[in-house]
A and B are shown apart, each in its own frame.
Chain A
Amino acid sequence: MGSDRLSNNIRRLRFEHGQMTQQELADKVGVTRQTIIATESGRYAPSLPLAFKIAQTFGVSIEQVFQYDDEKP
């Protein structure tokens, strides 16, 4: 379910947005807290709509939240 090539800045962005908790982010994007935990730790690659919702919540572009490393084998 996860992707080794996909990294994210969700944790940093949460703290930059008033120490937002995982639960608050989960409520805003309409998923469970467990999904946020799994996404944040890279164990789950979210769907495109969810990725956009997370980016919109932080008011940044999707590339600023998720990075895809295509140089990894």
Chain B
Amino acid sequence: MNMTQKRAWYHVGIISLVLAAVVFYLIVEIGLKYKLPESFWKYIWFPASMFITGIGISFLCIKYNTGEPWADERDKLIKLRAMLAAFISVIIALFGTSVIPIYILGRDGMLPVSFLPKINFCVLCLVLFVYSVAVLIQYGRGAKDGK
């Protein structure tokens, strides 16, 4: 597994964890109407995010074969195609975030301003996810790489 694949797996892992955290939050605070205590965020959320970051840094820094180049011409091509897929996903996401609220809230509907960073964050996650999955699909095509 080379650096590009490692990064892609890392991003997929992080986004999955973020998604799991969001689902957990929605189920507990909105579904079960249970307000999580302040200590939860203080003693669990922050150390957990630091732990994940630490794992990620060590995961990305380990390079088992020092003689191997970090990226070659095929990696560049794979990244370019993944970037194109991510760019298309941005256009779709921007279109979706512009049109879907109109259908849900109506033309005169309003959204709290605090939703904007959340929407931006979701779009960022989506782009990163699409990019990473596109990278992994291209490397894994044929499922023989690395054997």
Of A34, A44, A47, A50, most B-chain CB atoms within 10 Å: A34
Q: How many residues of A contact B (CB 8 A)?
A: 18
Interface segment among B13-21, B38-46, B64-72, B89-97: the answer is B64-72
Q: Is the interface of B mostly helix, strand, loop or mixed?
A: loop
Interface segment among B108-116, B117-125, B136-144: the answer is B136-144
Q: How many residues of B contact A (CB 8 A)?
A: 20
Q: Is the CB of B69 within 8 A of A43?
A: no
In the bound complex, how far is the Cα of B2 from the Cα of A38, in angstroms?
14
The one of B2, B65, B141 that contacts A43, using a Cβ cutoff of 8 Å: B141
A4 within 8 A of B: no
- What is the total of A-B residue contacts with beta carbons within 8 Å? 48
Given contacts A26-B68, A27-B68, contact A35 B73 (CB under 8 A): yes
Given contacts A27-B67, A27-B68, A38-B145, contact A46 B73 (CB under 8 A): yes
Q: Is the CB of A34 within 8 A of B146?
A: yes
In the bound complex, how far is the Cα of B75 from the Cα of A35, in angstroms?
8
Residues of B within 8 A of A32 (CB): 2, 68-69, 71-72, 74-75
B27 within 8 A of A: no
The one of A23, A27, A47 that contacts B73, using a Cβ cutoff of 8 Å: A47
Given contacts A41-B142, A41-B144, A43-B141, contact A34 B67 (CB under 8 A): no
Residues of B within 8 A of A47 (CB): 73
In the bound complex, how far is the Cα of B142 from the Cα of A44, in angstroms?
11
Residues of A within 8 A of B72 (CB): 30-32, 35
B22 within 8 A of A: no
Chain B residues in the interface with A (C-beta under 8 A): 2, 65, 67-69, 71-75, 77-78, 138-139, 141-142, 144-147
Chain A residues in the interface with B (C-beta under 8 A): 1, 23, 26-27, 30-35, 37-38, 41, 43-44, 46-47, 50
